[in-house]
Structure 1
Amino acid sequence: MLLTCADVRKTFGSAVVLDGLDLSVDEHEVVALIGASGSGKSTLLRCINLLTEVDDGTITLDGEDITNPKINPDVVRRKIGLVFQSYNLFPHMTVLDNITLAPVKVHGKPPAAARELAMEWLNRVGLADKSGSYPDGLSGGQQQRVAIVRALVNSPRLLLLDEVTSALDPELVGEVLTMIRDLKGDGMTMILATHEMGFARQVADRVAFLDNGRVLEQGPPAQVLGDPVEARTRQFLARIIEAGRL
């Protein structure tokens, strides 16, 4: 397994957000996390990326316990890309500068090499002509694709995507989902928290339904989304269907 979360617990004050959560992800696998708001999806991704410290349990990446206090988080984050629903691009920097900032300043990559790799990715996602543009000159879909490229230029072993389409207008969602589908074709290992059930059905190898901080049910998309075993999963999906999102 590339990633293993074992009995992971996280509380914020009296609120239990992750309650002994277990999840494993194999290399080249795409796992979609679904569940109601507050079920723990975003917190789990932040714990995996070490932005949030777990209270108990272990997270193992490539066989190494990354929740060990002696671990350098910056070293771990070189292997993990995290993309948020808000693009978090620096508005005063061009697209190219946004993408190359971390490789050069944090990881010590030569500027010319960083720019070359950034341009390769921008060309691939159809944004090479936007390299000199500033974020406010881009559409939401373009900004989100730039944010994903920024995570990819460090060649991560694992890509975490936290509701990356939720802030987009409906007509812009498709271009981001196409990019993620292409990454799956490349064999990128991904965990994506999403409310896009149709997309989860198409792109995920496995769907994990989170409820009250635990993985209540998981399996192939056709099974979890089409014929769930747990009553709580059926209840959640019924509400999704009522809202026209499945």
Structure 2
Amino acid sequence: MSTGAPVLEIRGVTKAYGEREVLRGIDLSVSEHQAVALIGASGSGKSTLLRCIDLLEEIDDGDVFLDGEVITDPSVSPPGVRKRLGMVFQAFNLFPHLNILDNVVLAPVRAHGVSKREATERARDLLARFGLEGREQDFPDRLSGGQQQRVAIVRALATQPRALLLDEITSALDPELVGEVLHLVADLKAGGMTMLIATHEMGFAREVADEVCFLHEGAIVERGSAEAMLGAPEHPETQKFLRRLLDAGRL
């Protein structure tokens, strides 16, 4: 595991929708070059946690820090924070009226003030790196689901974020397309990208995660190395969750 200072630190974060508690006192840190996987059943709070970190949801209590700076204070500008984080969603969320190159270039130019020329060069390099060279002028509906998700990841990388937040990025893909996207994320991990990943893909978590956190009913009830968590979990709820996946042939 990385021993550097945390890029992301979550302290005592809580979130409720009315009477329903979704996050219950989450404590978590992600260090430089570290990949942390969030696992757990649907509704356990994984996606909500990522959305709270990216300030797409307002937390009820606690704090989130980015490079030691609290970002959940009401005085902090959410757009300013999002310039420093890359978020990739379950749905690809590409702009259908823009071609692939323009989808990738938009944020660096509009939000970061990068020149159109520099942003275009960086976008072309990234698209080529991830197997999308020659598709720059295509519109999203001309690409497969796996290709669209790769574009979404490239779009997040184009802003050179401090960390990537990946929210079940394979859940909307056909099974045969899952592997290509997971391979891309494994390459990013090998290159030192700092990542917090909500995933149902246990094999992927085993391959890329320095730490795995199991969420149950809005709380992290167990955490540890991927080998320990997926091979010999100690908490009964973790054991039950992984047993269900094993019975379903997904582990």
- TM-score for the superposition, normalised by structure 1: 0.99
The structure 1 residue matched to 2:219, chosen from 205, 214, 219, is 214
2: CA distance, partners of 1:66 / 1:218: 25
1: CA distance, partners of 2:179 / 2:233: 27
Runs of 5+ consecutive residues of structure 2 not aligned to the other structure? 1-5
The structure 1 residue matched to 2:51, chosen from 46, 49, 58, is 46
The structure 2 residue matched to 1:183, chosen from 181, 188, 205, is 188
Q: How far is the alpha carbon of 1:92 from its aligned partner?
A: 1.0
1: CA distance, partners of 2:113 / 2:84: 15
Q: Kindly tell me the number of residue pairs found equivalent between the two proteins.
A: 246
The structure 2 residue matched to 1:86, chosen from 82, 88, 91, is 91
Corresponding position: 1:243 with 2:240: no
Match of 1:127 in 2: 132
2: CA distance, partners of 1:83 / 1:212: 23
For residues 11-58 of structure 1, give each alpha carbon's deviation from its aligned partner in whole angstroms, at most 9, with x where no partner exists.
011110001111111110000100011100000000000111100000
2: CA distance, partners of 1:165 / 1:132: 24
Corresponding position: 1:26 with 2:26: no
Match of 2:3 in 1: none
2: CA distance, partners of 1:55 / 1:5: 13
For residues 115-171 of structure 1, give each alpha carbon's deviation from its aligned partner in whole angstroms, at most 9, with x where no partner exists.
000001001001011100000000000000000000000000010000000111111
Q: CA RMSD for the aligned pairs?
A: 0.6
For residues 55-104 of structure 1, give each alpha carbon's deviation from its aligned partner in whole angstroms, at most 9, with x where no partner exists.
00001110000011111111111110000010001111100011111111
Match of 1:16 in 2: 21
Q: How far is the alpha carbon of 1:212 from its aligned partner?
A: 1.1
**Aligned to 2:134, what secondary structure does the other structure show?**
helix
**Aligned to 1:130, what secondary structure does the other structure show?**
coil
1:186-205 pair list within 5 angstroms? 186-205=191-210
Corresponding position: 1:75 with 2:80: yes
Divergent runs of 4+, >3 A = none
1:94-109 pair list within 5 angstroms? 94-109=99-114
Runs of 5+ consecutive residues of structure 1 not aligned to the other structure? none
2: CA distance, partners of 1:203 / 1:63: 25
Give the fraction of aligned pairs with identical amino acids, expressed as a percent: 59
Q: Retained in 1: the 8 A contact 2:83–2:111?
A: no
Letter in 2 for 1:157: R
Match of 1:111 in 2: 116
